[in-house]
Chains A and B, each alone.
Chain A
Amino acid sequence: MMNREPKQYSSGEVLAPPTERYTILGWLHKNLFSTWYYTLLTLVTLYILYAILKPSLIWIFTQAQWEVVVANLRLFMVGQYPKDQIFRIWLALDLLAFTVGLAWALFLPKERRVGAVLVIIPLLLASLPFISSYSRINWILFAAIGVAGWALGRWQPKKMRRPLIVLMLGYFPILILLISGFEPILKLVKTNYWGGLLLTMLLAVVGITLSFPLGILLALGRQSELPIVKTFSILYIEMVRGVPLVTILFMAQLMLPLFLPPGMKIDNVLRAMAGMVLFAAAYMAENVRGGLQAIPKGQHEAAWALGLNGFQTMFYIILPQALRNVIPVIVGQFIALFKDTSLVAIVGLLDLLGIASTVLAQPEFIGRQREVYLFIALIYWVFSYAMSYASRRLEVALGVGER
C-alpha cells in the first residue's frame, strides 16, 4: 500500500484511433464552409457575433468607468471584514495553497494544469495594476507556498501522505476558526462583518461540505428498510424539494426568530447557512439515490458472498461506485448552490450581490450598475467554470464513463 506507484491503465494495451490532420484551409473548409448552407450559417453567425461583440468591447474598454470596481475592490472581496484582520483570510488561502501543492505532488503528479492554476493564476493576479502592494505580496507568497508544498511532496512523498490527509480533513474547521476567530488568540469577527466574495464562498463551502454527507445519509435513509427512517427521509426530501430556496431563506430569516423561545437567538448568517445546507441536502440525496440505483444487484450479492456486512458492503462496494457515477450531477449541483448563495442578498445579507447593491448606493458611484454587475458576473463565472473544469478532470482521472 505504501509504495504504490500511480498506474496508467489505458496506455499500452489499447492504441488511440489515428487523428485526422488538416491544413488550416482544409479545416476551415470542412468545419465552416463545406456546403452552401453551412457557409451561409457561418457568415450569419459571424455577423451576429460581430454585431454583439463590437459595441460590448467598445463599451468595456472606452466608455465604462471602472473606478467603482477598483475603489471598492476590498469591499467586493471581503466586505466589512476588519482591515487589520485580513491577514487571517490570507493565512487560510496560504494553507489552501500548501494543501493543494502537496496533493498535486502526491496524487496527481502528471497533472501539469494544477501547477498552472497554483502558480500562474496568483502571479497573474499579483501583476494586476490596481491592487494594493499588500495583496500583491500575498499573492506571490500564495504561489510560493503552493510550490513549497509541491516540493515537499516530491521530496518526501511517503512521509507527507498522512499530514496531507489530516490537512484535507482539517481544512474546513481550520478555515471557519480562522475566519471567525477564537478568543483569546484571534479576535472574534462577528458574522455581520463577513461580506462580499468571502461570504459567498463561505456560504458555498459550508453548504457543499455539510450537504454532501447529509445528502448521502438521506439517500441511504430513503433506501432503508426501516419504516421510520424511510418515511422521514422521503418526507424530508419531498417537502424540501417542493419549496423554492428563497422561501426557505425567508422562513429562516423572518419566521424562525418569531418561533424561537424568548431569549434564544440564532445569528442571521448561520440561519442562512443552515437553510442552504438543508435545502441542498435534499437535492443531493436524490442525486446520490440515482447513483445507488444504478448499481446492479449483483454487486450487493457478491459483497455478501465475500462475507462483508451491511456497513462494509455499503461503504466499500456500493457507495464508491455510486458516487463515482454521479460526479457530474453532484458538481452541477455544487455550481448551482454556489450561484444560489446570491439569494441571501434578498434577505439582507451583504454577499457579493448584496455588497454590489450597497456599492451602487455610494453617492459617487450612483448609476454604475453595468460595471458593477458585469464585474460580479465575471467573478461568478470564473468560479463556476473552475468547478466545472475541475469536475471534468476528476472524471477523467477516475475513468468515469470508460467502462
Chain B
Amino acid sequence: MSKRVFYFLGVLLALGVLLAACSGSAQTSSNPQAVQTVVVTVESNASSGYGTTLKAVKERGYLICGVNAQLPGFGYVDKEGNYKGFDVDYCHAVAAAIFGDPSKVEFRPLTAKERFTALQTGEIDVLIRNTTWTLTRDTELGTNFAPTTFYDGQGIMVRKDSGIKSLEDLEGAKICVATGTTTELNLADQMAARGIDYTPVVFETADQVFGAYEEGRCDAVTTDKSALVSRRSTLKNPADHVILDVTLSKEPLGPVVRQGDDQWFDIIKWVVFATFTGEEMGITSQNVDEIKASTDDPNVKKFLGLEGEMGQKLGLSDDWAYNIIKYVGNYAEIYNRNLGPDTPFDLPRGLNSCWTDGGLLYAPPIR
C-alpha cells in the first residue's frame, strides 16, 4: 500500500508545489488581455471629462455595450452565438456611427443588479439594457438617459371569453403577478386609486406567473406589455387571450451613459434621433444609397452628410447617420426586425410610432 499511496501523494505534493507556477502561467496567459483592459480603463475611468469616452473607444477600436442577454426581442444570443435584439441593434448603431462598422462592438451581458455598477466603473461605455428612465436613476446614480427608444408600460392580459374589457371589470378577480417587483406595487396603487377589490396571486418568477395563468388559477395576469405580448405567443392558443387597452405604469426604456462626458451623451442621443429621423424621412437601409445619390432636399443632405458637416460637431465623421441607416436601419426597420409582424411577438407599434403617425418618436431637426 505504502508505495501506491506514496505515488498518489507524490503527485499531489508536486501539484501543490507547482501550484504557484500553474497559477503564474495562468496569469501570464491572460496577461496581454489584462494589460489591454488596464490601458483601456485608465482612459475610461478618467472619462469624467468632455470627449474622453469617445477618445477611449476610438483608441480601443471597439465599443463596449452593456446589454440584457435574456430578454426575448430585446437581447439574446442566437444559435450562431451572436447577440441579437432591439437593444443590441442600438449598440450596433452606435458602433456604426463611430467606426462606420456595426460589428465593432463587444457585448457585456449584465443582470439588472450589476448594470449601474458596470456603467459607473467604466466597465462599459453605454448601457442599453431595457432600463426605465426615472428621476432617481437620472440623478442619484450619476447617469444620464438618452432619448427613450421603447415606450413600455404595464398591461393586463385576460382570457377573451371572460368578457373583461376594462380595469373596472376586474372587481373581485384574481390577478397573477410576480412578487417584489414594481409591477406588484403599480397594480396595488392603480386598483386602490380606482377602489377596485381584487385578489393578488403572487409568484416568484415570470415563468410561474404565466404557468399559473395558463392553468386557470387566476383571471388576469399583469406585467410589462412587451413581455405580455411575447408570453402570449407561447400560450397554447394565443388568440384566446387579449391584452386590455389600459396602461398601469410608464416604462420608458432607453440607453444610459455616465454623467460628466457631454460629448458622449450627445453622440448617444443623436444616434437614437438619427434612427427616428431616418423613419420620418422614409430613408431605409435599402434605399439610402439611392437617396444619397439623387436627393436635392437640404435636410436629407445634412442628415446623410452631404453638406453642413453635422457629424464633425459630434466628433464623428459626416456620414455617421448614413452609416447607421445603411448598416443597422431606421427605427421602423430595427423595430420590425426584432418585435414586428414577422417575429413571434407581432407587437403593435402603439406609442412607439413616429410622431407623424401619432406616436411619441420625435427627433429634433438635424441642422
Using a CB–CB cutoff of 8 Å, the interface residues on chain A facing chain B are 4, 6, 9, 71-72, 74-75, 79-81, 83, 107, 165, 168-169, 172-173, 176-177, 180-183, 188, 190-192, 206, 209-210, 212-213, 216, 250, 253-254, 257-258, 260, 262-268, 270, 315-316, 319-320, 323-324, 346-350, 354-355, 357-364, 366-367, 369, 397-399
In the assembled complex, which residues on chain B have CB atoms less than 8 Å from the CB atom of A362?
72, 76-79
CB within 8 A of B45: which of A4, A173, A262?
A262
In the assembled complex, which residues on chain A have CB atoms less than 8 Å from the CB atom of B122?
265
| Residue B190 CB within 8 A of the other chain | no
CA distance A157 to B122 in the complex (A): 56
Question: Secondary structure at chain B's binding surface: helix, strand, loop or mixed?
Answer: helix
CA distance A346 to B113 in the complex (A): 9
Which residue of A is nearest B14, CB measured? A169
In the assembled complex, which residues on chain A have CB atoms less than 8 Å from the CB atom of B110?
348
Which residue of B is nearest A349, CB measured? B109
CA distance A79 to B1 in the complex (A): 44
**B45 close to A192 (CB less than 8 A):** no
Using a CB–CB cutoff of 8 Å, the interface residues on chain B facing chain A are 1, 3-9, 11-16, 18-19, 21-23, 25-26, 28-30, 32-34, 37-38, 40-42, 45-46, 69-73, 75-79, 81-82, 106-111, 113-114, 117-118, 120-123, 207, 230-231, 233-234, 343-345
**A172 close to B22 (CB less than 8 A):** yes
**A188 close to B32 (CB less than 8 A):** yes
**A173 close to B1 (CB less than 8 A):** no
CA distance A92 to B345 in the complex (A): 42
**A320 close to B114 (CB less than 8 A):** no
**B15 close to A361 (CB less than 8 A):** no
CB within 8 A of A169: which of B18, B29, B73?
B18
**In the complex, how many angstroms separate the beta carbon of A244 from the nearest chain B beta carbon?**
16
**B343 close to A253 (CB less than 8 A):** no
In the assembled complex, which residues on chain A have CB atoms less than 8 Å from the CB atom of B14?
165, 169
Which residue of A is nearest B13, CB measured? A315
Whether A191 contacts B15 in the complex (CB less than 8 A), given A264-B38, A363-B344, comes out as: no
**B111 close to A366 (CB less than 8 A):** no
Which residue of A is nearest B71, CB measured? A361
**B230 close to A320 (CB less than 8 A):** no
Q: 16 A-B pairs, CB-CB below 8 angstroms?
A: A72-B79, A191-B33, A212-B16, A263-B41, A267-B30, A267-B37, A270-B30, A350-B109, A361-B69, A361-B70, A361-B71, A362-B76, A362-B77, A362-B79, A366-B72, A397-B4
CA distance A177 to B31 in the complex (A): 11
**Most chain B beta carbons < 10 A, residue from A80, A81, A173:** A173
CA distance A322 to B19 in the complex (A): 20
Which residue of A is nearest B81, CB measured? A80
CA distance A154 to B200 in the complex (A): 70
In the assembled complex, which residues on chain B have CB atoms less than 8 Å from the CB atom of A6?
4
**A190 close to B41 (CB less than 8 A):** no
In the assembled complex, which residues on chain B have CB atoms less than 8 Å from the CB atom of A75?
77, 79, 81
**A265 close to B123 (CB less than 8 A):** yes
Whether A71 contacts B79 in the complex (CB less than 8 A), given A176-B26, A263-B38, A363-B344, comes out as: yes
Which residue of B is nearest A82, CB measured? B81
The 8 closest A-B CB pairs, nearest first, are: A367-B234, A361-B76, A213-B16, A263-B42, A80-B81, A173-B25, A320-B9, A257-B121
CB within 8 A of B117: which of A258, A319, A323?
A258
**B114 close to A253 (CB less than 8 A):** yes
**A354 close to B45 (CB less than 8 A):** no
Whether A210 contacts B19 in the complex (CB less than 8 A), given A188-B33, A358-B77, comes out as: yes
In the assembled complex, which residues on chain A have CB atoms less than 8 Å from the CB atom of B81?
74-75, 79-81, 83
Whether A398 contacts B42 in the complex (CB less than 8 A), given A180-B30, A267-B33, A355-B77, comes out as: no
CA distance A268 to B118 in the complex (A): 10
**A176 close to B29 (CB less than 8 A):** yes
Whether A319 contacts B9 in the complex (CB less than 8 A), given A348-B114, A361-B70, comes out as: yes
Which residue of A is nearest B68, CB measured? A361
**Most chain A beta carbons < 10 A, residue from B73, B78, B345:** B78
Whether A265 contacts B234 in the complex (CB less than 8 A), given A172-B22, A323-B12, A361-B70, comes out as: no
CB within 8 A of B69: which of A266, A320, A350?
A350
CB within 8 A of B111: which of A72, A216, A315, A347?
A347
In the assembled complex, which residues on chain B have CB atoms less than 8 Å from the CB atom of A369?
207
In the assembled complex, which residues on chain B have CB atoms less than 8 Å from the CB atom of A361?
69-72, 75-76
Which residue of A is nearest B118, CB measured? A257
**B114 close to A182 (CB less than 8 A):** no
CA distance A181 to B31 in the complex (A): 11
**In the complex, how many angstroms separate the beta carbon of B47 from the nearest chain A beta carbon?**
10
Whether A364 contacts B9 in the complex (CB less than 8 A), given A180-B29, A357-B70, comes out as: no
In the assembled complex, which residues on chain A have CB atoms less than 8 Å from the CB atom of B8?
320, 324, 398
**A183 close to B30 (CB less than 8 A):** no
**B77 close to A359 (CB less than 8 A):** yes
Which residue of A is nearest B338, CB measured? A363
In the assembled complex, which residues on chain A have CB atoms less than 8 Å from the CB atom of B25?
173, 176-177
**In the complex, how many angstroms separate the beta carbon of A182 from the nearest chain B beta carbon?**
6
**A210 close to B109 (CB less than 8 A):** no
Which residue of A is nearest B6, CB measured? A320
**A254 close to B70 (CB less than 8 A):** no
CA distance A254 to B29 in the complex (A): 25
In the assembled complex, which residues on chain B have CB atoms less than 8 Å from the CB atom of A320?
5-6, 8-9
**B34 close to A267 (CB less than 8 A):** yes
**Most chain B beta carbons < 10 A, residue from A4, A176, A319, A369:** A176
CA distance A4 to B4 in the complex (A): 10
In the assembled complex, which residues on chain A have CB atoms less than 8 Å from the CB atom of B30?
176, 180, 191, 267, 270
**A190 close to B33 (CB less than 8 A):** yes
Given A176-B26, A188-B32, A192-B108, 11 other A-B residues pairs in contact with their CB atoms under 8 A: A80-B82, A169-B14, A177-B25, A210-B23, A212-B15, A257-B117, A260-B121, A323-B12, A355-B77, A357-B69, A366-B344
**B15 close to A213 (CB less than 8 A):** yes
CA distance A352 to B59 in the complex (A): 34
In the assembled complex, which residues on chain A have CB atoms less than 8 Å from the CB atom of B231?
366
**In the complex, how many angstroms separate the beta carbon of B205 from the nearest chain A beta carbon?**
10
CB within 8 A of A265: which of B41, B70, B109, B117?
B41
CA distance A102 to B234 in the complex (A): 51
In the assembled complex, which residues on chain B have CB atoms less than 8 Å from the CB atom of A348?
69, 108-111, 114
Which residue of B is nearest A9, CB measured? B1
**A360 close to B70 (CB less than 8 A):** yes
CA distance A355 to B23 in the complex (A): 27
In the assembled complex, which residues on chain A have CB atoms less than 8 Å from the CB atom of B76?
358-359, 361-363
CA distance A276 to B29 in the complex (A): 20
In the assembled complex, which residues on chain A have CB atoms less than 8 Å from the CB atom of B13?
315, 319
